[in-house]
Amino acid sequence: MNSKENTPRVALVTGGSGGIGKAVVDKLATEGFAVAVHYAGNQAKADALVQGITAAGGRALAVGGDVADETAMSALFDQVEAAFGGIDVVVNTAGIMRLGPIADFNLDDFDKIMRTNVRGTFVVSQQAARRVREGGAIINFSTSVTRTQFPNYGAYVASKSAVEGLSMILARELRGKNITVNAVAPGPTATALFLDGKSEEVIAGLSKAVPLERLGDPEDIAESVAFLAGPARWVNGQTIFTNGGLA
């Protein structure tokens, strides 16, 4: 019973305590993964999520730290490996968004976006490249706005375009290791990150812009992640636009 086939696969989900991250954690847990739920500032939400998984018979662990801090992330990966014996899948949903026109954008906010979204993704991807076991997957997060190019998203799109680029290169650098690297690019999805600061009129307009005429649910995005984390072994070095046909 100690064979690889009978050992649950292990996933680490950064930003796993809320929004899309929570949906990803729930989906992977239901598919039999042992899940490490990362949080940056809200341990209570992560602990509650872990308790729910373990109460249902699953395996889960809450782990905290700044994704842009390489020392903290190295220790976090150590913690997950010690608890579960290794890591098969890393899903990096952690990110922040600030909106505004480029001409007037606050550069302190720009630096915060770049630190979390670009440096954070780089640091986590670096650790994942060193640690993920053969047959595993690394899944980073972009945005469909890299294609729709909505005004006021300049800083955010700049950070997510960088995420796409580094993910595609990492996929090629891991040649021969049987580890896939992809990015998921959600469209407008009903999360606190997306809805914050938007009027009902704007939200309704974005809903109608999608051919399916609704916002995405976090669970819609989690389906794509589960596909890349599991059966999608021939999908590698791609950006998957999960957006209901927005663009």
**Which residues participate in catalysis according to the annotation?**
156
- List Cα–Cα distances, 2 to 7, 79, 105, 208, in angstroms: 6, 21, 54, 51
Three-class secondary structure assignment of 177-201: CCCEEEEEEECCECCHHHHCCCCHH
User: In sequence order, which ranges of the chain are alpha helices (DSSP H)?
Assistant: 19-30, 43-55, 70-84, 107-113, 120-131, 145-148, 154-173, 192-195, 200-209, 218-229
Instruction: Return all residues near 243 (Cβ < 8 A) that are at least 6 apart.
Output: 144, 185, 186, 187, 188, 210, 216
Instruction: Return all residues near 17 (Cβ < 8 A) that are at least 6 apart.
Output: 37, 38, 39, 42, 45, 46, 49, 62
Buried b (16+ CB within 10 A) or exposed e, 162-173: bbbebbbebbee
Three-class secondary structure assignment of 118-150: HHHHHHHHHHHHHHCCCCCEEEEECCCHHHHCC
